[in-house]
Amino acid sequence: MPPQGTASKHQNIAQTARESLGFESLRPGQEEAVLALLQGRDVLVVQPTGSGKSAIYQIAGLLIKGTTVVVSPLIALQKDQVQSIAGQSHSAEAAVVNSTQRSAETREVLEKLTAGKLEYLFLAPEQLRRAETLDKLRDANISLFVVDEAHCISEWGHDFRPDYLKLGAVVESLGHPTTLALTATATPGIRTEIVERLHMRNHKVIVHGFDRPNLSLRVDTFQSEDEKLEALIRRVRWADKPGIVYVATRKNAEMIMHALKQVAIDALFYHAGLRAKERHEIQERFMSGSADVIVATNAFGMGIDKADVRFVYHFDISDSLDSYYQEIGRAGRDGLPAEAILFYRSENIGVRKFQAGAGKLETAHFEKVAEAIDNETGPADPAQIARQTDLSTRKVVSALNRLEDTGALETAGDGGVQLTDGLDIATAARTAADEQQRLKHAQRERLLRMQEFAELRTCRREFLLNYFGDNYHGPCNNCDNDSPAGGRREVS
C-alpha cells in the first residue's frame, strides 16, 4: 500500500502540469522526479536535452512553498527560461541575476527575492561569489535549489566549470534546501561525483533515454591529413543540412570554414577566442537557419537545442566519450535520421594528449598556494592568491580544488578559502600533487576509451551506451560496424 498522501501528490503533479504548463501528460522521469522532490529527497536527473528537464523544477517549484533558485552557466538559457515561465498561465514570477545587468536591476530583483515575491530566480554560479547575493539568498525562503548542466561540477568529465565546485558549500550555507541536479550526460562515476560534491541527502538518481536510435554512428579512417580534409569537405558538401563540424583547435575551425566557403557552402566558425558579442551573433545566425554549417571547438554547444541538425562530424577526435556523446547528441533531436561521423587518424590522438597534459602542477606550486592562504588573516580570495603567487588563475583554481579534495582547506559559501587547522603544508602539498597526478591519469584513460571507440570492430552503439551504464546489447543495425548498408571505411 502506498504511503498516505502519495495518490494526492500524483494528482497535484498532473493537475499542475496540465493547468500551468499545458501538458496533457508527463514524459518519462518527470513525475518520478517531482514526486521525490515533494518528499524532500535530493534528486539527480540524467536525461537528453529536449526531454523536459526544466519542467521538473517548474512543476516542483509551484508545489513547494518558497523560492526556487536555478543555477545555470548560460545567460541566454536563463533568459529563455524566464520568458518561457512568463508565457505560462500561472502568475508565478521569474527573474534573472547576471553580469549583463545594471546594479540597480540586480538590487531590484534581490529586493523582490527577500520580500517573497519571486517564485523562480535564475543566476550563474559566478554570482554566488558575491557576498551581497549570498546574504540575500540566506534571508529568503529558498525551498528548492536547482543545478542545471550539473556535469559542469565534474573535473573528470567535459565542460568543467570551477565555480560549480563551490555549489555544495552554497547549498549548506542556505540550510540545505531540497536540491535538484540536471544534466544530459553523465557516466556512473560522474553521477557519484555530482551527488558527493552537492552533499545530496537521501538522494534519488533518475536516468532515462541515452539511446538515440535515429542517429547513425560511423568512423572513417585516414592515412593523411590532406585526405581527411578532402573527405570532410566532400561529405559536408553533399550532406543534408544544417550540420556541425567539431574540431580540436581554433586554427582548424577557421581553416575548415574557409575551405567550405570555397565550395560555396555557407559556413561559420566558432571558438572561445572570439569576443562574446561575436560568439552570440554567430550562434544566432546558425540557430535561425541563416547559415548551413558551423565549424566549432567544444566551446560551442552547451544549451543549444536546434531540432533539425542533420549531422555532427568530428574532424578531430574528442578528448573523451563524455564529450563525444554530448556533441553528437546535438544531431537529430527532431527524431528524424541524422548521422555522426568521426574522421579519424591515430596520429590525432597526440594533440589531445598534449592538451590533457597542459597546465601541469608541481608539489612546489601547491606549497606556494597553501603558504599564500596561510599568510592571510581570514578567508582568502582565489584571485588574490593568483596575484600573490604569480600563477595563472586557472592553475590556482586547480591547486585549490586539489587541496580541498585532500582535506587541506575549506571553502566558504562566498568562495573564500582557508587552511584546515593543524595542517602540515609540505605533507598537504605532496598529497595534492599525487591527487593531481591521479586526475591526469584519469584524463589519459578517458582518451584511451575514445581511441578504443574509434578503432572498434564491434557495435559502436553498444560500446557507447555501456560506457554510460546503459545495459544495451547490439547489433544496433545503425552503425558502420554492423549495418548492412554501412561498412567501415578506411582511406589509404
Q: What is the pLDDT of residues 289-340, one digit of tens each?
A: 999 999 999 888 776 778 899 999 999 999 889 889 989 989 998 989 999 9
DSSP designation for 145: E
Res 4: pLDDT: 45
* Cα dihedral 169→172→178→182 (10° resolution): 0
Q: Give yes or no for a contact between 162 and 397, defined as CB atoms under 8 angstroms apart.
A: yes
**Location of C-alpha cell 561529405:** 235
Question: Which residue in the block uniquely carries the three cell numbers 564529450?
Answer: 323
pTM above 0.85, yes or no: no
What are the cell numbers at 309?
541538425
Beta bridge partners of 219: 342
Enter the C-alpha cell of residue 382.
582565489
- Rounded to whole angstroms, how far apart are CA atoms 297 and 270? 7
Instruction: Please tell me the least confidently modeled range out of 62-66, 129-133, 155-159, 244-248.
Output: 155-159
216 beta partners:
339
Is the N-terminal amide bond of 48 cis, ω within 30° of 0? no
Domains and CATH numbers, the chain: 6-207 (3.40.50.300), 215-355+481-491 (3.40.50.300), 359-443 (1.10.10.10)
Cell 592515412, located at residue: 223
Q: What percent of the chain has pLDDT above 70? A: 91
CA end-to-end distance (rounded Å), the chain? 66
CA distance 414 to 132: 9
Its sign, for the CA torsion 288, 294, 300, 306, is positive
Residue pair 413/145 in contact by the 8 Å Cβ criterion: no
Q: How confident is the model at residue 342 (pLDDT cuts 50, 70, 90)?
A: very high
The pLDDT value given to residue 2: 42
**Eight-class DSSP state of 129:** G
Q: Could you read off the pLDDT of 464-488 as tens digits, one per residue?
A: 999 988 888 989 999 999 866 544 5
Bigger pLDDT: 261 or 8?
Answer: 261
Which residues face 145 on adjacent strands? 69, 179
251-255 average pLDDT score: 95
Give the span between the Cα atoms of 260 and 243, in whole angstroms: 12
- How much is the pLDDT for 303? 67
Strands 417-419 vs 409-411: parallel, antiparallel or unpaired: antiparallel
Rounded to whole angstroms, how far apart are CA atoms 315 and 460? 18
Q: Which residues of 190-217 are buried (b: 16+ CB within 10 A; e: fewer)?
A: bbebbbebbebeebbbbbbebebeebbb
CA proximity to 41, closest of 205, 207, 203? 203
The residue ranges of DSSP E strands in 363-441, in sequence order, are 409-411, 417-419
Residues facing residue 211 across a β-bridge: none
Query: How many CA atoms are closer than 13 Å to the CA of 157, on its beta-carbon side?
Result: 30
**Which amino acid is located at 325 in the chain?**
Y
Separation between Cα atoms, residue 418 and residue 314, nearest integer Å: 43
Sign of CA dihedral 104, 105, 106, 110: positive
For the beta carbon of residue 184, count every other beta carbon within 10 angstroms: 22
Under 8 Å between Cβ of 383 and 454: no
